[in-house]
Amino acid sequence: MLDQLTKIVEQFTQKEVAANAQIDNNLAGSVAKETGNSLVEGLKSAVSGGNISDLMGMAGNLDVSSLTSNPVVKNIIDSLSSKLSTNVGLDAGTASGFAGSVIPQILTTVVESVKNGNFNIGELMGSGGLTAALDQNGDGKLGMDDAMDAIKKGGFGDLLGGFFKK
């Protein structure tokens, strides 16, 4: 699963770096690394912080304007901007512009893949904490079967149902 995410991140960062005259193409690897780290850390932080409604909000609003106004996405963009400035050496404006462009593209692709059943977001979130609590059948993964059980049992069902719905 992490390999899938890495490929998506690399695909979009390479495209964005190549199109951005402000970023040296030799920095593409470092930019991809920081992008992937910021994305994973941001999603894990949202889950561990119980920010489920904002995570679910991402799934329902995949246009750029809705995504960039989502608090989880804002945090990921801010984190990436900071890392690109600090760790890669990009100026703040370039880092911010890049992050604000690439993160919504990556998240749109990931959310669409989750909805289509081609991506298991539960593996990204790890086996502990909220993932374990939401794993209705105890198989260590979050999937459609867990969403269906959660809907039947209540609790997080309404939120998860919207997220995992095909």
Residue 161 is assigned to a structural domain of this protein? no
Instruction: Give the residue numbers spanning the domain of 55.
Output: 2-119
Residue 10 has pLDDT above 70, yes or no: yes
- Cα–Cα distances in Å, from 106 out to 7, 13, 35, 110, 148? 10, 9, 10, 6, 27
Residue 43 is assigned to a structural domain of this protein? yes
Q: Which of 72, 46, 71 is nearest to 129 (CA)?
A: 46
Q: How many domains does one find in the chain?
A: 1
Residue 6 CB partners (closer than 8 Å, separation 6+): 36
Task: Output the pTM of the full model.
Answer: 0.72
Residue 162 has pLDDT above 50, yes or no: no
Higher per-residue confidence, 14 vs 138 = 14
50 confidence band (pLDDT: 50, 70, 90): confident
Residue 159 is assigned to a structural domain of this protein? no
Residue 97 is assigned to a structural domain of this protein? yes
Question: Phi, psi (5° rounding) for residue 103?
Answer: -60, -50
